[in-house]
A = this chain, B = another copy of it.
Amino acid sequence: MQSRPRIPEATVARLAVYLRVLSGLADGGRGTVSSGELASAAGVNPAGLRKDLSHLGPCGTRGVGYEVATLRDRIAGVLGMETAHACVLVGLGNLGSALAGYGGFGSRGFEFVGLFDASPARVGQEVGGRVVRPMEELDEVVTATRATIGVIATPAEVAQGVCDRLTSAGVRSILNFAPVALTAPAGVDVRQVDLSVELQVLAFLDKQRGPATTVLAPAGGMA
């Protein structure tokens, strides 16, 4: 049976959300939760949540619900959070600095073991409790720390070059914030996060919903 033959990627993303909610409930001393309540807190459909959870085997008690601590540990195990993940971050402009100082990563088992920037002005500065290192040390740090995840927060022009250096150093997973499509060798997984795309989708939905949907506007014909 191998309780994890394959889990859909969309489900994995939601599991991470459930995990966050469960952690909050556990901190609040909550013992059990129902799928309805958990789904409401996560912003998804209750049936979908149960289906997501079914991918990791039966982990609830019928008539009662899910044991918060148990389910949390189970999800954490499936997501590979038993062991901490070493990450390197390249590019410490505004966005990179924000990522380096973002507490949401460290509390989830992701640790930045190296911060890198090509600009001599940034090298040596301290960001988020770590010292920024020059690009020349990237390969060495990745090898020494066995970092598997690389985060790119550089300008678009140099992102591909950084990607190449990361992959050749041994990084197998890349999270790219630069607005370019990266090409990486097979076996390396790249995830793209484009902040401005999200805004543009919002703008489109707003336009589509009503070119003149003022809440007032009783009279026909806008100007």
Contacts and interface: CB of A to CB of B under 8 A. Distances in A.
Interface stretch (A61-69, A100-108, A132-140): A100-108
Nearest to A110: B199
A193 B195 contact: yes
A179 interface: yes
A202 B197 CA distance: 21
Contacts of A42: 181
B9 A201 contact: yes
Interface stretch (A11-19, A27-35, A118-126): A11-19
A47 interface: no
A204 B95 contact: no
User: Size range of the interface on A?
Assistant: 35 or more
Interface string A176-203: 0001011100010101111111111111
A81 interface: yes
Contact of A80 (B172, B181, B191, B203): B203
A174 B196 CA distance: 13
B200 A81 contact: yes
Contacts of A170: 215
A173 B16 contact: no
B191 A201 contact: yes
A181 B41 contact: yes
Contact of A198 (B20, B41, B191): B191
A205 B101 contact: no
Q: Please list the 7 inter-chain residue pairs (A to B) with the smallest Cβ-Cβ separation, ordered nearest first.
A: A43-B181, A80-B207, A98-B98, A94-B98, A16-B200, A173-B202, A94-B101
Given A93-B98, A109-B203, 11 more contacts: A12-B201, A12-B205, A110-B199, A149-B199, A149-B202, A149-B203, A173-B205, A173-B206, A175-B198, A191-B202, A193-B193
